[in-house]
């Protein structure tokens, strides 16, 4: 897969950060593809399947050959409450989930399928995912039903184990390469040695690196949030925005093949892509990273 340097995450389309305008969300996908993004990721857990439904509407008139797409299996979220997670890494559960994702998105063939959030609930499902779950995805790949096997998760120590053991083609990490966390760098040499492509998601640190701040469900406490607000204010004082600095920092590391951001706003998509091509303000970068030092490389308890 020859993916664009910036890729599109559809979590925002499920309303996981804030309420969305569906027509704008659909337009955001069209703008992303028109501007050269060719990889889209989604999951049934985003908004209790809402993201897949909305994405399906957006992709309806777009030639399948113009994009790669991944979805996830093993985790779903109740429609009424983001965070009401249900886990099932069984063969039956994965097949049922994949069939349902096909119906919602209108996509018959997924280029990548990721096991989703295998570390959740204090790791009680991790071994199940890495045994039965991984085996099912490997068989689906062998049968030609999916293109590649992936895992989407967060913890660095579990990434080290999974990459070392192999068995996946792709890893989707989130919140591990952004202004306040660069631990993805320590995983990249090992991943390259194993032939595993790493996707870096969440350049805005799940909303922490935005002027609006993180959503209520984010585990950062009040004092930690104040640090991110201070960093955002420094950017404003310098005539800039923390979102601009964040997307520049995350996308301008040439060792990272693709950086994935999520948006349901076409103007935000245009802005992010424009910002990513502009030179970074090194002095502002230094000031912001200094402010964020107390919350750098923080293990958030998602």
Residue range 70-120, pLDDT digits in tens: 999 999 876 555 456 889 999 999 999 999 999 999 999 999 999 999 999
pLDDT digits (tens, 9 = 90+) for 182-241: 999 999 999 999 999 999 999 999 999 999 999 888 999 999 999 999 999 999 999 999
pTM: 0.95
CA distance 181 to 176: 5
| CB contact set of 146 (below 8 Å; sequence gap of 6+) | 98, 109, 110, 111, 112, 113, 137, 140
Which domains does the chain show, CATH number per domain? Answer: 6-217+243-282 (3.20.20.100)
Q: Give the count of beta carbons closer than 10 Å to the beta carbon of residue 194.
A: 16
pLDDT digits (tens, 9 = 90+) for 43-67: 999 999 999 999 999 999 899 999 9
Helix (H) or strand (E) holding 290, with range, is helix 282-291
- Report pLDDT for 18: 83
User: Beta partners for 7?
Assistant: 260
Nearest to 15 by CA among 105, 80, 104: 80
The residues annotated as belonging to the active site are: 46
| C-beta separation of 242 from 209 below 8 A | yes
């Amino acid at each position: 897969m020859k993916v664009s340097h910036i890729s599109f995450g559809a979590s925002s389309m499920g309303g996981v950060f804030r309420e969305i305008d569906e027509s704008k969300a659909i337009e955001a996908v069209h703008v992303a593809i028109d501007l050269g993004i060719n990889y889209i990721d989604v999951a049934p857990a985003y908004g209790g399947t809402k993201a897949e439904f909305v994405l399906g509407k957006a992709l309806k008139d777009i030639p399948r050959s113009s994009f790669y797409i991944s979805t996830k299996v093993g985790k779903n979220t109740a429609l009424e409450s983001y965070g009401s997670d249900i886990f099932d890494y069984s063969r039956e559960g994965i097949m049922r989930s994949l069939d349902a994702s096909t119906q919602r998105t209108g996509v018959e063939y997924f280029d990548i399928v990721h096991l989703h959030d295998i570390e959740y609930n204090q790791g009680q499902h991790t071994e199940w995912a890495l045994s039965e779950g991984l085996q099912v995805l490997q068989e689906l790949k062998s049968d030609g039903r999916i293109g590649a096997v992936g895992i989407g998760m967060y913890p660095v120590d579990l990434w080290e184990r999974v990459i070392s053991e192999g068995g996946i083609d792709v890893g989707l990490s989130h919140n591990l390469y952004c202004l306040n966390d660069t631990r993805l760098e320590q995983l990249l040499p090992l991943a390259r040695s194993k032939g595993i492509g790493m996707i870096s998601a969440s350049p805005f640190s799940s909303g922490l690196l935005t002027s609006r701040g993180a959503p209520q469900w984010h585990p950062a406490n009040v004092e930690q949030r104040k640090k991110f607000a201070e960093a955002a204010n420094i950017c404003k004082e310098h005539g800039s925005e923390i979102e601009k600095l964040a997307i520049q920092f995350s996308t301008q590391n040439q060792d990272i093949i693709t950086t994935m951001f999520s948006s349901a706003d076409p103007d935000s998509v245009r802005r992010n892509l424009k910002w990513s091509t502009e030179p970074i303000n090194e002095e502002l970068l230094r000031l912001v990273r200094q402010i964020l030092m107390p919350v750098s490389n923080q293990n958030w308890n998602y």
